[in-house]
Amino acid sequence: MDKAKKNTVIHAAAECMAANYKSSQIPMYGDALRMPNRNAVIEIIRDCQKLIFPVYYGDRDLLKLPPEQYSALLMEHIHEKLTRQITLTMPECDENCEVAYAISTAFIERIPAIQELLLKDLSANFEGDPAAYSKEEVLLSYPGMFAIFIYRIAHELYENKVAMIPRMMSEYAHSQTGIDINPGAKIGEYFFIDHGTGVVVGETTIIGDNVKLYQGATLGALSPAGMATNPNVRRHPKVGNNVVIYANSTLLGGATEIGDNVVVGGNAFLTSSVAPNTVVSVKNPEMTFRGKHHRG
């Protein structure tokens, strides 16, 4: 064991790291940095699950309370935790941040409406999948339902201009499900995602009611790089009502508008608009079928 060498190396590297901390363009060292905490944000999601779907996620003991008390109690918890985390996103705010407090209140006010949306999403996710045996199974196990749950929560905070927390939430959903819905997207009722891995829904996407997405469906930007110049321009597609987008189809660009009642078959690649009531199917790509192992 060359301990002397190790000590020399650590000493030199530590000097170097300290210099790097100091010269970095972002804050790197010290106790001053205030930022929302990922685990605390995940806890808020868990509390929202307990509040919105009590028997599926709630604590057995609390579920003995009258339902008004149960939900009021959870709302108090959520309000307190959310206020603290939002405060941490506002560098100019001290511990008693009125803006953060008011945003939390506005969020709580929206929860019953979010719950109603989620019950519609649950119906859509149950009815859309022939392999689903019950709504309970969909709620407890389906990644699409989980990603939509988090999207509906995160979108509410995004609309209230909360920094960092909405994206923390959506990236948590992404890591658990492979479904990447930017909290800025606007999505209508009865939203359905099947399988889900690889789904991408960009920040300025608009989606109508009764839309179904399958795995790998992308609603993305054309050449994203350099398009941040005008934040008011839509960079992602607009999708109408009653649209189905099958697996691994890619729809790109803010000028791409998909009309009502459109079906986009698997593997499509669209960078322009589609009229309502259209079925888009990709002609099977040209394939070569070559026999092998010819014998005799």
Compute the least distance from the CB of residue 175 to a copy of itself, in Å: 5
Compute the least distance from the CB of residue 201 to a copy of itself, in Å: 10
How many Å apart are CA 118 and CA 145, to the nearest integer?
A: 9
Contact criterion met (CB below 8 Å) for 261 and 276: yes
Compute the least distance from the CB of residue 208 to a copy of itself, in Å: 17
Segment near a copy of itself (CB under 8 A); pick from 42-50, 148-156, 178-186: 178-186
Residues 6+ apart with CB under 8 A from 52: 111, 114, 115, 118, 149
292 forms part of the interface with a copy of itself (CB under 8 A) = yes
Contacting a copy of itself (CB under 8 A), which of 40, 50, 155, 194? 194
Per-residue CA distances from 88 to 74, 92, 144, 170 (Å): 21, 9, 30, 18
**Footprint of a copy of itself on residues 239-278 (CB under 8 A)?**
244, 247-248, 250, 252, 261, 263, 266-271, 274-275, 277-278
Residue in this structure with the two tokens 């719950």, named with its chain if needed: 115
Contacting a copy of itself (CB under 8 A), which of 82, 111, 153, 245? 111
Contacting a copy of itself (CB under 8 A), which of 153, 235, 240, 245? 235
How many residues sit close enough to a copy of itself to count as binding (CB under 8 A)?
A: 141
**Footprint of a copy of itself on residues 62-81 (CB under 8 A)?**
63-64, 66-72, 75-76, 79
Element (H, E) at 149: helix 143-159
How many Å apart are CA 292 and CA 80, to the nearest integer?
A: 68
Residue in this structure with the two tokens 């945003």, named with its chain if needed: 103
**Footprint of a copy of itself on residues 112-131 (CB under 8 A)?**
112, 115-116, 119, 122-123, 128-131
188 forms part of the interface with a copy of itself (CB under 8 A) = no
**Footprint of a copy of itself on residues 129-158 (CB under 8 A)?**
129-131, 133-137, 139-143
Contact criterion met (CB below 8 Å) for 177 and 211: no
Contact criterion met (CB below 8 Å) for 181 and 146: no
**Footprint of a copy of itself on residues 2-61 (CB under 8 A)?**
2, 5-6, 9-18, 20-22, 24-33, 35, 38, 51, 53-56, 60
Residue 205, amino acid: T
**Which residue, 20 or 186, has its beta carbon nearer to a copy of itself?**
20
How many Å apart are CA 54 and CA 26, to the nearest integer?
A: 42
Contact criterion met (CB below 8 Å) for 248 and 268: no
Query: Beta-carbon neighbour count of residue 186 at 10 Å?
Result: 13
Contact letters (x/-) for a copy of itself, 198-227, by CB under 8 A?
Answer: x-x-xx--------x-xxx-x-xx--xxxx
Compute the least distance from the CB of residue 209 to a copy of itself, in Å: 16
Tokens matching residue 56: 């599926």
